[in-house]
Structure 1
Protein backbone atom coordinates (compact mmCIF):
# COMPACT_ATOMS: atom_id res chain seq x y z
CA UNK A 1 0.00 0.00 0.00
CA UNK A 2 2.83 2.37 0.91
CA UNK A 3 4.54 1.47 -2.34
CA UNK A 4 1.39 2.33 -4.34
CA UNK A 5 1.00 5.63 -2.51
CA UNK A 6 4.66 6.53 -3.07
CA UNK A 7 4.38 5.74 -6.79
CA UNK A 8 1.24 7.86 -7.11
CA UNK A 9 2.97 10.77 -5.30
CA UNK A 10 5.99 10.65 -7.65
CA UNK A 11 3.65 10.58 -10.65
CA UNK A 12 1.89 13.76 -9.41
CA UNK A 13 5.23 15.46 -8.79
CA UNK A 14 6.48 14.71 -12.30
CA UNK A 15 3.22 15.92 -13.81
CA UNK A 16 3.43 19.22 -11.91
CA UNK A 17 7.05 19.79 -12.94
CA UNK A 18 6.25 19.05 -16.59
CA UNK A 19 3.45 21.60 -16.58
CA UNK A 20 5.69 24.20 -15.00
CA UNK A 21 8.36 23.72 -17.66
CA UNK A 22 5.80 23.95 -20.41
CA UNK A 23 4.68 27.41 -19.30
CA UNK A 24 5.91 30.03 -21.80
CA UNK A 25 7.06 33.45 -20.61
CA UNK A 26 6.66 36.56 -22.77
CA UNK A 27 10.10 38.17 -22.75
CA UNK A 28 9.21 40.97 -25.15
CA UNK A 29 9.77 44.39 -23.54
CA UNK A 30 6.70 46.37 -22.63
CA UNK A 31 6.38 49.33 -24.95
CA UNK A 32 6.05 52.66 -23.13
CA UNK A 33 2.84 54.57 -23.55
CA UNK A 34 3.37 57.35 -26.09
CA UNK A 35 3.03 60.70 -24.34
CA UNK A 36 2.57 63.57 -26.78
CA UNK A 37 3.38 66.15 -24.09
CA UNK A 38 6.84 64.66 -23.50
CA UNK A 39 7.82 64.83 -27.16
CA UNK A 40 5.86 67.90 -28.12
CA UNK A 41 8.84 69.90 -29.38
CA UNK A 42 11.92 67.75 -29.73
CA UNK A 43 14.50 70.52 -30.13
CA UNK A 44 13.08 72.73 -27.39
CA UNK A 45 12.78 69.74 -25.08
CA UNK A 46 16.36 68.68 -25.85
CA UNK A 47 17.65 72.19 -25.22
CA UNK A 48 15.95 72.51 -21.85
CA UNK A 49 17.11 69.03 -20.79
CA UNK A 50 20.73 69.65 -21.79
CA UNK A 51 22.45 69.54 -18.41
CA UNK A 52 25.09 72.03 -17.34
CA UNK A 53 28.31 70.28 -16.34
CA UNK A 54 29.45 70.26 -12.75
CA UNK A 55 32.74 69.56 -11.05
CA UNK A 56 36.16 71.10 -11.56
CA UNK A 57 37.03 73.65 -14.20
CA UNK A 58 38.51 72.36 -17.48
CA UNK A 59 42.25 72.93 -17.94
CA UNK A 60 44.53 73.40 -20.91
CA UNK A 61 47.37 70.92 -21.39
CA UNK A 62 49.90 73.56 -20.27
CA UNK A 63 50.08 76.30 -17.67
CA UNK A 64 52.56 78.33 -19.77
CA UNK A 65 50.66 81.39 -21.02
CA UNK A 66 53.29 82.10 -23.68
CA UNK A 67 52.80 78.63 -25.17
CA UNK A 68 49.03 79.10 -25.18
CA UNK A 69 49.35 82.38 -27.06
CA UNK A 70 51.72 80.78 -29.58
CA UNK A 71 49.02 78.19 -30.36
CA UNK A 72 46.08 80.59 -30.16
CA UNK A 73 46.19 81.84 -33.81
CA UNK A 74 46.14 78.26 -35.12
CA UNK A 75 43.34 77.39 -32.70
CA UNK A 76 41.33 80.44 -33.80
CA UNK A 77 41.80 79.45 -37.45
CA UNK A 78 40.74 75.87 -36.74
CA UNK A 79 37.71 77.07 -34.79
CA UNK A 80 36.73 79.51 -37.53
CA UNK A 81 36.88 76.85 -40.25
CA UNK A 82 34.90 74.40 -38.17
CA UNK A 83 32.18 76.93 -37.32
CA UNK A 84 31.98 78.26 -40.87
CA UNK A 85 30.93 74.77 -41.99
CA UNK A 86 28.39 74.53 -39.16
CA UNK A 87 27.08 78.02 -39.91
CA UNK A 88 26.52 77.18 -43.57
CA UNK A 89 24.69 73.95 -42.75
CA UNK A 90 22.50 75.41 -40.00
CA UNK A 91 22.05 78.90 -41.52
CA UNK A 92 23.34 80.61 -38.40
CA UNK A 93 25.31 83.85 -38.16
CA UNK A 94 28.98 83.46 -37.21
CA UNK A 95 30.83 86.06 -35.13
CA UNK A 96 34.61 85.75 -34.72
CA UNK A 97 36.11 88.26 -32.26
CA UNK A 98 39.81 88.97 -31.95
CA UNK A 99 41.92 86.70 -29.78
CA UNK A 100 41.86 87.86 -26.16
CA UNK A 101 44.78 90.19 -25.48
CA UNK A 102 47.72 88.91 -23.46
CA UNK A 103 47.17 91.63 -20.86
CA UNK A 104 43.50 90.80 -20.33
CA UNK A 105 44.28 87.09 -20.16
CA UNK A 106 46.95 87.68 -17.51
CA UNK A 107 44.58 89.87 -15.49
CA UNK A 108 41.92 87.17 -15.58
CA UNK A 109 44.43 84.48 -14.58
CA UNK A 110 45.64 86.53 -11.62
CA UNK A 111 42.15 87.54 -10.52
CA UNK A 112 40.21 84.29 -10.98
CA UNK A 113 42.70 81.43 -11.23
CA UNK A 114 45.36 82.30 -8.66
CA UNK A 115 48.01 82.64 -11.35
CA UNK A 116 47.40 79.24 -13.00
CA UNK A 117 47.24 79.87 -16.76
CA UNK A 118 45.97 76.35 -17.53
CA UNK A 119 42.49 77.51 -16.49
CA UNK A 120 42.24 80.24 -19.14
CA UNK A 121 39.93 78.78 -21.80
CA UNK A 122 38.66 81.78 -23.77
CA UNK A 123 41.78 83.08 -25.51
CA UNK A 124 40.26 81.83 -28.76
CA UNK A 125 36.47 82.10 -28.96
CA UNK A 126 33.53 82.48 -31.32
CA UNK A 127 29.76 82.94 -31.37
CA UNK A 128 26.96 81.42 -33.42
CA UNK A 129 23.63 83.28 -33.55
CA UNK A 130 20.54 81.28 -34.53
CA UNK A 131 17.09 82.50 -35.53
CA UNK A 132 15.28 79.63 -33.81
CA UNK A 133 15.77 76.80 -31.35
CA UNK A 134 15.89 74.17 -34.09
CA UNK A 135 18.97 75.62 -35.82
CA UNK A 136 20.62 76.36 -32.47
CA UNK A 137 20.30 72.70 -31.50
CA UNK A 138 21.44 71.60 -34.94
CA UNK A 139 24.60 73.69 -34.43
CA UNK A 140 25.15 72.24 -30.98
CA UNK A 141 24.82 68.64 -32.15
CA UNK A 142 27.27 69.15 -35.02
CA UNK A 143 29.72 70.89 -32.72
CA UNK A 144 29.49 68.02 -30.23
CA UNK A 145 30.17 65.52 -33.04
CA UNK A 146 33.25 67.36 -34.36
CA UNK A 147 34.86 68.48 -31.09
CA UNK A 148 35.06 67.33 -27.48
CA UNK A 149 32.62 69.33 -25.35
CA UNK A 150 34.29 69.71 -21.95
CA UNK A 151 31.93 72.17 -20.30
CA UNK A 152 28.30 73.24 -20.74
CA UNK A 153 26.58 76.23 -19.16
CA UNK A 154 22.95 76.00 -20.17
CA UNK A 155 21.42 79.37 -19.39
CA UNK A 156 18.29 78.47 -21.34
CA UNK A 157 17.25 76.06 -18.60
CA UNK A 158 18.87 78.16 -15.84
CA UNK A 159 18.73 81.81 -16.97
CA UNK A 160 20.59 84.63 -15.27
CA UNK A 161 18.74 86.84 -12.79
CA UNK A 162 18.28 89.38 -15.58
CA UNK A 163 16.44 86.76 -17.66
CA UNK A 164 19.29 86.46 -20.16
CA UNK A 165 19.68 83.03 -21.80
CA UNK A 166 22.36 81.41 -23.94
CA UNK A 167 24.36 78.20 -24.32
CA UNK A 168 27.99 78.67 -23.29
CA UNK A 169 30.35 75.86 -24.27
CA UNK A 170 33.99 75.02 -23.82
CA UNK A 171 35.25 72.60 -26.48
CA UNK A 172 38.60 70.93 -27.15
CA UNK A 173 39.58 71.27 -30.81
CA UNK A 174 40.62 68.04 -32.59
CA UNK A 175 43.79 69.40 -34.24
CA UNK A 176 45.39 71.97 -31.92
CA UNK A 177 43.95 70.25 -28.80
CA UNK A 178 43.29 73.68 -27.33
CA UNK A 179 40.19 74.42 -25.28
CA UNK A 180 38.19 77.35 -26.69
CA UNK A 181 34.88 79.05 -25.95
CA UNK A 182 31.80 78.87 -28.17
CA UNK A 183 28.60 80.74 -27.38
CA UNK A 184 25.29 79.80 -28.99
CA UNK A 185 22.78 82.66 -29.03
CA UNK A 186 19.22 83.25 -30.17
CA UNK A 187 19.12 86.42 -32.25
CA UNK A 188 16.39 88.37 -30.40
CA UNK A 189 17.96 87.67 -27.02
CA UNK A 190 21.41 88.63 -28.33
CA UNK A 191 19.97 91.91 -29.68
CA UNK A 192 18.50 92.73 -26.27
CA UNK A 193 21.84 92.07 -24.59
CA UNK A 194 23.76 94.37 -26.93
CA UNK A 195 20.98 97.00 -27.06
CA UNK A 196 18.39 97.66 -24.32
CA UNK A 197 20.16 95.68 -21.57
CA UNK A 198 23.45 97.41 -22.27
CA UNK A 199 21.66 100.73 -21.88
CA UNK A 200 20.15 99.51 -18.60
CA UNK A 201 23.63 98.46 -17.43
CA UNK A 202 25.03 101.91 -18.22
CA UNK A 203 22.19 103.68 -16.40
CA UNK A 204 22.70 101.52 -13.30
CA UNK A 205 26.45 102.16 -13.45
CA UNK A 206 25.79 105.91 -13.58
CA UNK A 207 23.46 105.79 -10.57
CA UNK A 208 25.98 103.78 -8.54
CA UNK A 209 28.85 106.03 -9.66
CA UNK A 210 27.11 109.14 -8.34
CA UNK A 211 26.63 107.52 -4.93
CA UNK A 212 30.29 106.45 -4.86
CA UNK A 213 31.51 109.93 -5.77
CA UNK A 214 29.41 111.39 -2.96
CA UNK A 215 30.66 108.68 -0.56
CA UNK A 216 27.18 107.59 0.44
CA UNK A 217 24.94 104.54 0.11
CA UNK A 218 22.22 104.41 -2.51
CA UNK A 219 19.04 106.24 -1.56
CA UNK A 220 15.68 104.48 -1.55
CA UNK A 221 14.74 106.37 -4.70
CA UNK A 222 17.93 105.26 -6.47
CA UNK A 223 17.39 101.65 -5.42
CA UNK A 224 13.84 101.79 -6.79
CA UNK A 225 15.20 103.17 -10.08
CA UNK A 226 17.66 100.28 -10.33
CA UNK A 227 14.95 97.71 -9.58
CA UNK A 228 12.69 99.17 -12.29
CA UNK A 229 15.52 99.21 -14.80
CA UNK A 230 16.32 95.56 -14.12
CA UNK A 231 12.66 94.61 -14.34
CA UNK A 232 12.40 96.28 -17.74
CA UNK A 233 15.25 94.22 -19.19
CA UNK A 234 13.89 91.05 -17.57
CA UNK A 235 10.51 91.61 -19.26
CA UNK A 236 12.21 92.02 -22.63
CA UNK A 237 14.13 88.77 -22.21
CA UNK A 238 11.04 86.93 -21.03
CA UNK A 239 8.98 88.18 -23.97
CA UNK A 240 11.70 87.14 -26.44
CA UNK A 241 12.01 83.68 -24.92
CA UNK A 242 8.24 83.16 -25.04
CA UNK A 243 8.27 84.01 -28.76
CA UNK A 244 10.89 81.28 -29.37
CA UNK A 245 8.83 78.75 -27.43
CA UNK A 246 5.77 79.60 -29.52
CA UNK A 247 7.90 79.41 -32.66
CA UNK A 248 9.04 75.89 -31.70
CA UNK A 249 5.44 74.83 -31.14
CA UNK A 250 4.43 76.22 -34.53
CA UNK A 251 7.33 74.42 -36.27
CA UNK A 252 6.32 71.16 -34.61
CA UNK A 253 2.69 71.56 -35.66
CA UNK A 254 3.75 72.24 -39.26
CA UNK A 255 5.97 69.15 -39.28
CA UNK A 256 3.21 66.98 -37.85
CA UNK A 257 0.71 68.20 -40.47
CA UNK A 258 3.26 67.48 -43.24
CA UNK A 259 3.90 63.95 -41.91
CA UNK A 260 0.17 63.20 -41.70
CA UNK A 261 -0.35 64.48 -45.26
CA UNK A 262 2.42 62.22 -46.61
CA UNK A 263 1.03 59.26 -44.70
CA UNK A 264 -2.41 59.84 -46.20
Structure 2
Protein backbone atom coordinates (compact mmCIF):
# COMPACT_ATOMS: atom_id res chain seq x y z
CA UNK A 1 0.00 0.00 0.00
CA UNK A 2 2.83 2.40 0.87
CA UNK A 3 5.75 0.91 -1.09
CA UNK A 4 6.70 -0.28 -4.53
CA UNK A 5 6.64 -4.05 -4.08
CA UNK A 6 9.10 -4.52 -6.95
CA UNK A 7 11.77 -2.62 -5.03
CA UNK A 8 12.95 -3.61 -1.55
CA UNK A 9 15.40 -1.27 0.17
CA UNK A 10 16.93 -1.10 3.61
CA UNK A 11 14.80 1.01 5.94
CA UNK A 12 16.36 3.64 8.24
CA UNK A 13 14.05 2.64 11.10
CA UNK A 14 12.38 -0.28 12.85
CA UNK A 15 8.59 -0.60 12.85
CA UNK A 16 6.56 -1.90 15.80
CA UNK A 17 3.13 -2.66 14.32
CA UNK A 18 0.05 -3.05 16.52
CA UNK A 19 -3.56 -3.41 15.41
CA UNK A 20 -7.02 -3.16 16.91
CA UNK A 21 -10.56 -3.10 15.57
CA UNK A 22 -11.34 0.40 16.83
CA UNK A 23 -9.89 2.95 19.23
CA UNK A 24 -12.23 4.82 21.55
CA UNK A 25 -13.75 8.13 20.50
CA UNK A 26 -10.99 10.31 21.95
CA UNK A 27 -8.54 12.33 19.86
CA UNK A 28 -5.67 9.98 20.74
CA UNK A 29 -4.89 6.35 19.99
CA UNK A 30 -3.58 4.46 23.04
CA UNK A 31 -1.43 1.36 23.51
CA UNK A 32 0.14 -0.11 26.64
CA UNK A 33 3.73 -1.39 26.68
CA UNK A 34 5.87 -3.10 29.25
CA UNK A 35 8.38 -0.55 30.51
CA UNK A 36 11.17 -3.09 30.12
CA UNK A 37 10.52 -3.20 26.35
CA UNK A 38 10.86 0.57 26.04
CA UNK A 39 14.06 0.66 28.09
CA UNK A 40 15.82 -2.51 26.96
CA UNK A 41 14.78 -2.53 23.30
CA UNK A 42 13.74 0.94 22.14
CA UNK A 43 16.17 2.99 24.21
CA UNK A 44 18.99 0.62 23.29
CA UNK A 45 18.31 0.74 19.54
CA UNK A 46 20.72 2.59 17.28
CA UNK A 47 17.98 3.68 14.86
CA UNK A 48 14.44 5.04 15.45
CA UNK A 49 11.64 2.65 16.40
CA UNK A 50 8.37 3.77 14.80
CA UNK A 51 5.20 2.60 16.53
CA UNK A 52 2.39 2.15 13.98
CA UNK A 53 -1.10 1.61 15.38
CA UNK A 54 -3.54 0.26 12.80
CA UNK A 55 -7.28 0.78 13.26
CA UNK A 56 -9.15 -1.76 11.13
CA UNK A 57 -12.52 -0.01 11.22
CA UNK A 58 -11.13 3.17 9.64
CA UNK A 59 -8.26 1.49 7.75
CA UNK A 60 -5.86 4.08 9.16
CA UNK A 61 -2.36 4.05 10.64
CA UNK A 62 -1.33 6.36 13.50
CA UNK A 63 2.32 6.62 14.44
CA UNK A 64 5.00 8.03 16.70
CA UNK A 65 8.70 7.42 17.29
CA UNK A 66 9.02 5.56 20.57
CA UNK A 67 12.40 7.01 21.55
CA UNK A 68 11.12 10.56 21.02
CA UNK A 69 7.98 9.75 23.01
CA UNK A 70 10.09 8.50 25.92
CA UNK A 71 12.21 11.67 25.91
CA UNK A 72 9.62 14.34 25.10
CA UNK A 73 6.56 12.99 26.90
CA UNK A 74 7.52 10.43 29.54
CA UNK A 75 10.77 12.06 30.72
CA UNK A 76 9.09 15.48 30.87
CA UNK A 77 5.73 14.53 32.40
CA UNK A 78 6.69 11.56 34.57
CA UNK A 79 10.45 11.35 35.28
CA UNK A 80 9.91 8.20 37.38
CA UNK A 81 8.27 6.25 34.56
CA UNK A 82 11.21 3.84 34.31
CA UNK A 83 10.26 2.36 37.69
CA UNK A 84 6.76 1.45 36.47
CA UNK A 85 5.82 -1.97 35.13
CA UNK A 86 3.68 -0.67 32.26
CA UNK A 87 3.49 2.61 30.34
CA UNK A 88 0.63 3.81 28.16
CA UNK A 89 1.56 5.47 24.85
CA UNK A 90 -0.90 8.03 23.47
CA UNK A 91 -0.67 9.12 19.83
CA UNK A 92 -2.54 11.97 18.19
CA UNK A 93 -4.92 10.55 15.61
CA UNK A 94 -3.30 12.06 12.54
CA UNK A 95 -3.42 9.37 9.83
CA UNK A 96 -0.26 8.45 7.98
CA UNK A 97 -2.17 8.55 4.69
CA UNK A 98 -2.54 12.32 4.50
CA UNK A 99 -0.96 14.73 2.00
CA UNK A 100 2.69 14.89 2.95
CA UNK A 101 2.26 12.19 5.61
CA UNK A 102 5.16 10.02 4.45
CA UNK A 103 7.42 13.06 4.02
CA UNK A 104 6.60 14.15 7.55
CA UNK A 105 7.40 10.66 8.82
CA UNK A 106 10.79 10.64 7.11
CA UNK A 107 11.66 14.13 8.39
CA UNK A 108 10.73 13.07 11.91
CA UNK A 109 12.78 9.89 11.58
CA UNK A 110 15.77 11.95 10.42
CA UNK A 111 15.49 14.29 13.43
CA UNK A 112 15.13 11.32 15.77
CA UNK A 113 18.25 9.72 14.31
CA UNK A 114 20.26 12.87 15.08
CA UNK A 115 18.98 12.78 18.65
CA UNK A 116 19.84 9.08 19.00
CA UNK A 117 23.37 9.71 17.73
CA UNK A 118 23.83 12.57 20.19
CA UNK A 119 22.46 10.61 23.15
CA UNK A 120 24.57 7.58 22.27
CA UNK A 121 27.68 9.78 22.17
CA UNK A 122 26.88 11.37 25.54
CA UNK A 123 26.16 7.98 27.13
CA UNK A 124 29.46 6.58 25.83
CA UNK A 125 31.34 9.51 27.38
CA UNK A 126 29.68 8.88 30.74
CA UNK A 127 29.68 5.08 30.64
CA UNK A 128 30.95 3.43 33.79
CA UNK A 129 29.47 6.06 36.11
CA UNK A 130 26.61 5.31 38.52
CA UNK A 131 24.22 7.22 36.25
CA UNK A 132 25.39 5.34 33.15
CA UNK A 133 26.44 1.78 34.05
CA UNK A 134 28.05 -0.47 31.41
CA UNK A 135 25.47 -1.41 28.79
CA UNK A 136 23.72 1.95 28.78
CA UNK A 137 23.07 2.87 25.15
CA UNK A 138 21.27 6.23 25.18
CA UNK A 139 21.47 9.10 27.65
CA UNK A 140 18.29 10.25 29.37
CA UNK A 141 16.88 13.76 28.93
CA UNK A 142 18.33 14.90 32.26
CA UNK A 143 21.74 13.47 31.36
CA UNK A 144 21.68 15.33 28.05
CA UNK A 145 20.86 18.59 29.77
CA UNK A 146 23.53 18.00 32.41
CA UNK A 147 26.10 17.39 29.67
CA UNK A 148 25.10 20.58 27.88
CA UNK A 149 25.15 22.61 31.10
CA UNK A 150 28.67 21.39 31.83
CA UNK A 151 29.82 22.52 28.38
CA UNK A 152 28.21 25.95 28.85
CA UNK A 153 29.84 26.30 32.29
CA UNK A 154 33.18 25.31 30.75
CA UNK A 155 32.69 28.00 28.09
CA UNK A 156 31.98 30.54 30.83
CA UNK A 157 35.27 29.69 32.55
CA UNK A 158 37.14 29.93 29.25
CA UNK A 159 35.61 33.33 28.52
CA UNK A 160 36.64 34.63 31.94
CA UNK A 161 40.18 33.41 31.21
CA UNK A 162 40.04 35.35 27.91
CA UNK A 163 40.07 32.20 25.76
CA UNK A 164 37.24 33.56 23.62
CA UNK A 165 37.75 31.34 20.57
CA UNK A 166 37.57 28.15 22.66
CA UNK A 167 34.59 29.52 24.59
CA UNK A 168 32.76 30.29 21.34
CA UNK A 169 33.53 26.81 20.03
CA UNK A 170 31.99 25.24 23.16
CA UNK A 171 28.74 27.21 23.04
CA UNK A 172 28.39 26.83 19.26
CA UNK A 173 28.71 23.07 19.75
CA UNK A 174 25.96 23.16 22.39
CA UNK A 175 23.74 25.27 20.15
CA UNK A 176 24.15 22.88 17.22
CA UNK A 177 23.25 19.79 19.26
CA UNK A 178 19.68 18.53 18.68
CA UNK A 179 16.81 19.45 21.02
CA UNK A 180 15.64 22.80 22.34
CA UNK A 181 16.28 23.14 26.07
CA UNK A 182 17.49 25.61 28.69
CA UNK A 183 21.21 24.99 27.99
CA UNK A 184 20.62 25.84 24.33
CA UNK A 185 19.09 29.15 25.43
CA UNK A 186 22.18 29.81 27.58
CA UNK A 187 24.39 28.99 24.58
CA UNK A 188 22.49 31.51 22.45
CA UNK A 189 23.06 34.23 25.05
CA UNK A 190 26.80 33.49 25.14
CA UNK A 191 27.04 33.47 21.34
CA UNK A 192 25.35 36.87 21.19
CA UNK A 193 27.59 38.26 23.93
CA UNK A 194 30.95 36.82 22.88
CA UNK A 195 30.93 37.06 19.10
CA UNK A 196 32.08 40.45 17.82
CA UNK A 197 29.99 41.98 15.03
CA UNK A 198 32.50 42.72 12.28
CA UNK A 199 30.49 42.00 9.12
CA UNK A 200 26.85 42.01 7.93
CA UNK A 201 26.67 38.20 7.81
CA UNK A 202 27.64 38.01 11.49
CA UNK A 203 25.05 40.64 12.38
CA UNK A 204 22.35 38.77 10.44
CA UNK A 205 23.35 35.49 12.08
CA UNK A 206 22.99 37.19 15.46
CA UNK A 207 19.49 38.35 14.54
CA UNK A 208 18.51 34.77 13.70
CA UNK A 209 20.00 33.55 16.97
CA UNK A 210 18.18 36.26 18.88
CA UNK A 211 14.82 35.31 17.36
CA UNK A 212 15.41 31.70 18.40
CA UNK A 213 16.49 32.82 21.86
CA UNK A 214 13.46 35.06 22.34
CA UNK A 215 11.13 32.21 21.38
CA UNK A 216 12.84 29.84 23.85
CA UNK A 217 12.84 32.43 26.64
CA UNK A 218 9.13 32.99 26.05
CA UNK A 219 8.42 29.25 26.18
CA UNK A 220 10.31 28.97 29.49
CA UNK A 221 8.65 32.13 30.86
CA UNK A 222 12.00 33.87 31.36
CA UNK A 223 11.32 37.64 30.97
CA UNK A 224 14.77 38.52 32.33
CA UNK A 225 16.42 36.41 29.65
CA UNK A 226 14.19 37.97 26.99
CA UNK A 227 15.35 41.40 28.15
CA UNK A 228 18.98 40.24 28.07
CA UNK A 229 18.62 38.97 24.49
CA UNK A 230 17.04 42.27 23.43
CA UNK A 231 19.98 44.15 24.97
CA UNK A 232 22.53 41.87 23.29
CA UNK A 233 20.98 42.31 19.86
CA UNK A 234 20.98 46.10 20.05
CA UNK A 235 24.58 46.37 18.80
CA UNK A 236 24.08 44.13 15.70
CA UNK A 237 20.93 46.10 14.82
CA UNK A 238 22.87 49.36 14.97
CA UNK A 239 25.64 47.82 12.87
CA UNK A 240 23.16 46.76 10.18
CA UNK A 241 21.50 50.16 10.19
CA UNK A 242 24.86 51.84 9.67
CA UNK A 243 26.63 49.39 7.35
CA UNK A 244 23.92 47.36 5.59
CA UNK A 245 20.67 49.32 5.25
CA UNK A 246 20.85 51.24 2.00
CA UNK A 247 23.45 48.94 0.49
CA UNK A 248 23.05 47.86 -3.13
CA UNK A 249 23.56 44.31 -4.35
CA UNK A 250 23.02 42.33 -7.53
CA UNK A 251 20.18 39.81 -7.36
CA UNK A 252 21.66 36.64 -8.86
CA UNK A 253 18.45 35.22 -10.38
CA UNK A 254 16.96 38.37 -11.88
CA UNK A 255 20.24 40.11 -12.63
CA UNK A 256 18.78 43.33 -11.23
CA UNK A 257 20.36 45.70 -8.77
CA UNK A 258 18.49 45.78 -5.46
CA UNK A 259 18.54 48.12 -2.49
CA UNK A 260 18.35 46.89 1.12
CA UNK A 261 15.59 48.89 2.83
CA UNK A 262 14.94 46.93 6.01
CA UNK A 263 16.10 43.92 8.02
CA UNK A 264 13.44 42.13 10.08
- Determine which structure has the larger helix proportion and give its number: 1
- Larger RCO: Structure 1 or Structure 2 (Cα < 8 Å, ≥ 6 residues apart)? 1
Whether TM-score is above 0.5 comes out as no
Larger radius of gyration: 1
Q: Name the TM tier (shorter chain).
A: under 0.3
TM-score, normalised on structure 1? 0.23
TM-score, normalised on structure 2? 0.23
